[in-house]
Amino acid sequence: MKELLQIKDLYVNFRTLWGIAKVLNGVNLTIHKGEVFGLVGETGCGKSVTALSILRLLPSNAEVSGKILFKGENLLEKSEEEMRKIRGKEISIIFQDPMTSLNPLFKIKDQMIDVIMLHEGLEKERAIEHAKKLLKAVGLPADRVLNSYPHELSGGMRQRVMIAMALSSNPSLLIADEPTTALDVTIQKQILELILDLKNQYNFSVLLITHDLGVVAEVCDRVGVMYAGNIVEIAETEELFENPLHPYTRGLLSVVPDPRQKKPLKPLRGSVPSLINPPSGCRFHPRCDHMRDICKKAKPELIEYSPGHFVACYLYGGDLDD
Amino acid sequence: MIRVEHLKKYFPVTQGFLRKKVLWLKAVDDVSFEIQDGETFGLVGESGSGKSTTGRTILRLYEPTGGKVYFNNIEITALSKEELKRIRPKMQIIYQDPYSSLNPRLTIFDIIAEPLREYGHENIEDRVLELLEAVGLSEEHAKKYPDELSGGQCQRVAIARALALDPEFLVLDEPTSALDVSVQAQVLNLLDSLQKEMGLTYLFISHDLGVVRYLADKVGVMYLGNLVEMGTLDQVFDNPMHPYTRMLLSSIPIPDPKARSLKKGVVIGEIPSPLNPPKGCKFHPRCPFYKPGVCDAKEPEMIEVERGHLVKCHFAGEL
Amino acid sequence: MRKEEMLKILFRNKLSILGLSIIIALVLIAILAPILAPYPEQALGEPNLKERLQPPSWKHPFGTDHLGRDVLSRVIYGTRTSLVIGFSVVALALLIGVPLGLIAGYFGGKMDLAVMRITDIFLAFPPLLLALLIATTLGRGMVNAILALAISWWPWYTRLARGMAISVKERPYVEAAKAMGIADWKIMLRHILPNSISPVIVQATMDMGSAILEAAALSFLGLGVQPPTPDWGLMVSEGKDYFLNYWWYPVFPGLAIFITVIAFNLLGDAVREVIDPRLRRRFL
């Protein structure tokens, strides 16, 4: 498989009133062509910041370093002008709440056509044709939806409109940031199925950001687990669920309630640390049952423990004392 | 402990300058069920199903439009305001958003002490510390304000406050939906152990069937203000009879890639507006077994298909 | 919120510091007026006809007025009048307006309807016109001017407090209090009031400036503070006839009004930044 996107040693700091928040602490990951890559983690782990860094949409109080290679070119070195061409055309993003990206005062038609005309350079008539085709592809009644205002549509329909707009210029990467978190489960099922169908049809890659391990298990090819600004484990989905290596991944998997059977939940100790004053070394060490001295001293690197299965933990080597 | 009979809660929908009533929103429409002492009844459903309204109406935080609610054989729905106040300590509620359920301007101590003061308890300080300990917090948290605590800690405070007056019955309205999974597990375990220690009875409202499977003994499934299926945990989860329950169960993402559901397209359509629900069986436009002339003509009765397993479907037990 | 954070936010903005410093300076000037003013007896009205309408000099840095009184001394003493008027008007309006707004918002229904219709009537008049009307009815003088302004002012706070109460009463912690059987008045006092008051405080801070300005306008029209009390509005009014030849007479008190109003507005902005929770959580 070929790499589409490679993130190398990505660090992001936010200057805040209370000090510098070290939100990303050297993130490394690769997304291949045509795959669905899931980025999973709890609130504040940095998964959304990773997505926004790719599109260079971070707020002005952020300091970014590292490399984000998209089709071999470093996005962090692009000019704002060049980025504008990449956003929406090469890389599209959909968010949890479609209402934040749709203007409530304009009909869907006006908003979609603006985007299509801008990116594709089509004239109005052709743009409307294109919009109709896209809306049909996401399973919406095109004519009715085009003439609706955002509030006249249900949450599921709005998310479909967002997907249609994201696909308007045939991107090679779709970033979906918690796309179904605000939706009911039956609607979530429809939207996830739709994203997979469209992926196979249009052949783009998906970076799916979610907190829901159920969603990951249902749709992702590979998964990266994030904790407090670090990727702690990357593996193919089945491998990760069957053979989790990192203590955090194991903990996470043991607290997900399973609707098929009642099982005891073994919660992790403590809670997510502050990123302004994060724990030294491995940021998970205060909550870890396998903590050793080295864990407090230096951050473990992400190593390939078995083919395709990466983990950042001294339990699996990298310990200088061994 | 709790008996709900034909409970109805309609909200008027007004329109225009003169606030003319144009419609009734039937949030809860003829719902009946019982909760036994020490049991957890899980109420599941999607948005607009009326599950939260049911919980609030049982506590008379909303005045019911019709029907009766009994608590230990006292008809709550017939009590005067003063009588209701006397019984309030026995029935409490926990909310979804831990931050907005605590007054941001009060310290944790004052939040937990408020109900104790209202009912003239003595030794308030000792009691607050005892409650904090019971929910896994300590004295140092007492002086803090809600925004200095994490979401999970705030939810523990809300639980401590609800327990302050020694309740017998708790409505848990999506108590873990706003929390991360690892914290959710801590709070679920806490609720579970408190129930065992104090003999509490729970009405557990949730859209997350995994969580319901973990905590509930019996389950009711709601759709557009109706209870469409009810039974023990195993009856409803392992042998769902209502087509909606089946659709719901097959939509839940299962945290196991090997169980990846092969069946696609099991979900038909979207939930209609509760303002203008379909005639007959409210689920018929989305039902794969829809029979014209039957399902869209008459509202089905709740039928007991096996002991304790009730289904509101014309073809219950036949599908 | 912790106090250090409040101060941190307050001191982040240079304009806030400026506003706050000016207000502190004004309060100090008002308190220390007898010490600061070079001619306290003139400030209180004693004529000094030998030195009528002198231009600014070392002896009289702001010049003298038509009765030969030291303008600097009168401006310094005027600070007292202005601050007392500004504070009293706003405090009185808050005292009437906020409780009514909270009751209307919390209980709703007929109570709400009645209160809001009354505020509508008051708000239908231009505030200065209403104050003029009241001042004319009650008679001239500082106390009546304060009453008149407060009466034309409270409906704004009622509206603001009502809107906040309506949104706060929907919060789960209020419902939780009801579920615990807490009495309505305690819910209002403990839960609704503290969580509704922030925007009212912001508005009230800014309004201090406007109240001083409107009181000055009443004085200017002869309906407010009466001579010989030292008052900026009155000084501008008296000085306007001399403006062309003796500019210092109306200009210095005018400048004092201008600076005070701006300082209160800056402070209002600063207070908003400190107490608005949305601004607080902005970085997280």
CB contact under 8 A, C1 and B84: no
Band (C199; pLDDT cuts 50, 70, 90): confident
Tell me the C-alpha distance between C73 and C70, whole Å: 5
Using a CB-CB distance cutoff of 8 angstroms, which residues of chain A are in contact with residue C12?
17
> What rounded mean pLDDT belongs to chain C?
86
Domains in chain C and their CATH numbers?
3-40+58-283 (1.10.3720.10)
Tell me the C-alpha distance between C181 and B84, whole Å: 8
Give the mean pLDDT of C238-245: 85
Is the separation of the CB atoms in B160 and B133 below 8 Å?
A: no
Is beta strand B91-94 parallel, antiparallel or unpaired with respect to B169-173? parallel
Is the separation of the CB atoms in A198 and A34 below 8 Å?
A: no
Give strand pairing partners of B13.
B23
- Compute, in degrees rounded to 10, the torsion defined by CA atoms B175, B181, B182, B183: -20
Closest by alpha carbon to B221, among B238, B201, B244, B202?
Answer: B244
pLDDT of residue A71: 92
| Torsion angles phi and psi, residue A263, rounded to 5 | -130, 150
Is the separation of the CB atoms in C224 and C241 below 8 Å?
A: no
Is the separation of the CB atoms in C233 and C220 below 8 Å?
A: yes
Tell me the C-alpha distance between C50 and C70, whole Å: 12
Tell me the C-alpha distance between B132 and B113, whole Å: 11
CB contact under 8 A, B114 and C181: no
Interface test with B, best of C116, C169, C173 (most B CBs within 10 A): C173
Interface test with C, best of A17, A23, A58, A61 (most C CBs within 10 A): A17
Q: Which amino acid is at C109?
A: G
Top mean pLDDT of A74-78, C211-215, C221-225 is at A74-78
Residues of chain A scoring pLDDT < 70: 1, 318-322
Q: Please report all neighbours of B, defined by 3+ CB atom pairs within 8 A.
A: A, C
Domain borders along chain A are 100-170
* Among candidates C172, C179, C195 on the partner chain, residue whose Cβ is nearest the Cβ of B105: C195
Number of neighbours of residue A98 by Cβ within 10 angstroms: 23
Closest by alpha carbon to C96, among C163, C151, C162?
Answer: C151
Give the mean pLDDT of C230-251: 86
pLDDT of residue A322: 46
pLDDT of residue B317: 78
Nearest-CA distance C4 → chain A (Å): 10
Band (C246; pLDDT cuts 50, 70, 90): confident
Nearest-CA distance C18 → chain A (Å): 21
Domain borders along chain B are 245-319
Tell me the C-alpha distance between B88 and B164, whole Å: 12
Using a CB-CB distance cutoff of 8 angstroms, which residues of chain A are in contact with residue C283?
14, 16-18, 21, 61
Q: Let me know how long chain B is.
A: 319
CB contact under 8 A, C182 and B95: no
Is the separation of the CB atoms in C55 and C63 below 8 Å?
A: yes
Nearest-CA distance C273 → chain A (Å): 13
Tell me the C-alpha distance between C52 and C261, whole Å: 30
pLDDT of residue C281: 46
CB contact under 8 A, B185 and A267: yes
Model confidence at C1: pLDDT above 60: no
Is the separation of the CB atoms in A244 and A224 below 8 Å?
A: no
Nearest-CA distance B155 → chain C (Å): 12
DSSP H or E run through C109: helix C109-124
Using a CB-CB distance cutoff of 8 angstroms, which residues of chain C are in contact with residue B162?
176
Residue A261 contacts B where some CB pair is shorter than 8 Å: yes
Is the separation of the CB atoms in B43 and B203 below 8 Å?
A: yes
Structure tokens at C278: 């949305």
Name the residue of chain A whose CA is nearest to B47's CA.
Answer: A184
B16: left (phi over 0), alpha (psi -120 to 50) or beta: left
| Torsion angles phi and psi, residue A304, rounded to 5 | -85, 100
Burial (Cβ within 10 Å: 0-12, 13-18, ≥19) of residue B266: middle
pLDDT single digits (tens) C118-165: 999 888 888 778 888 888 888 888 888 888 889 888 999 999 999 999
Q: How far is CA A66 from the centre of its chain?
A: 18
Q: Which amino acid is at A77?
A: E
DSSP H or E run through A216: helix A213-219
Question: Quick check: helix, strand or coil at residue A4?
Answer: strand
- Give the end-to-end CA distance of chain A in Å, rounded to a whole number: 34
Name the residue of chain C whose CA is nearest to A15's CA.
Answer: C283
Question: Quick check: helix, strand or coil at residue A101?
Answer: coil
| Torsion angles phi and psi, residue A6, rounded to 5 | -125, 125
Name the residue of chain C whose CA is nearest to B96's CA.
Answer: C172
Is the separation of the CB atoms in B13 and B70 below 8 Å?
A: no
Model confidence at C284: pLDDT above 50: no
Give the mean pLDDT of C223-252: 85
Examine residue C228 and say whether the peptide bond preceding it is cis (omega within 30 degrees of 0). yes
DSSP H or E run through B133: helix B124-134
* Among candidates B212, B266, B270 on the partner chain, residue whose Cβ is nearest the Cβ of A156: B270
Q: Where are the beta strands (DSSP E) in chain B?
A: 2-15, 20-35, 40-44, 66-71, 74-75, 91-94, 169-173, 201-206, 218-223, 226-232, 302-306, 309-312
Question: Quick check: helix, strand or coil at residue C211?
Answer: helix
Tens-level pLDDT at each residue, chain B (319 residues): 899 999 999 998 877 666 666 788 899 999 999 999 999 999 999 988 999 999 999 999 999 999 999 999 999 999 998 899 999 999 999 999 988 999 998 999 999 999 999 998 889 999 999 999 999 999 999 999 998 888 899 999 999 999 999 999 999 999 998 888 888 999 999 999 999 999 999 999 999 988 999 999 999 999 999 999 999 999 999 999 999 999 999 888 888 888 876 567 778 888 888 888 899 999 999 999 999 989 999 999 999 999 999 999 999 877 7
CB contact under 8 A, B256 and A241: yes
* Among candidates B61, B105, B148 on the partner chain, residue whose Cβ is nearest the Cβ of C175: B61
Residue C240 contacts A where some CB pair is shorter than 8 Å: no
Nearest-CA distance A321 → chain B (Å): 32
Closest by alpha carbon to C232, among C72, C57, C93?
Answer: C72
Give strand pairing partners of B310.
B230, B304
Structure tokens at B213: 């499977």
Nearest-CA distance B272 → chain C (Å): 26
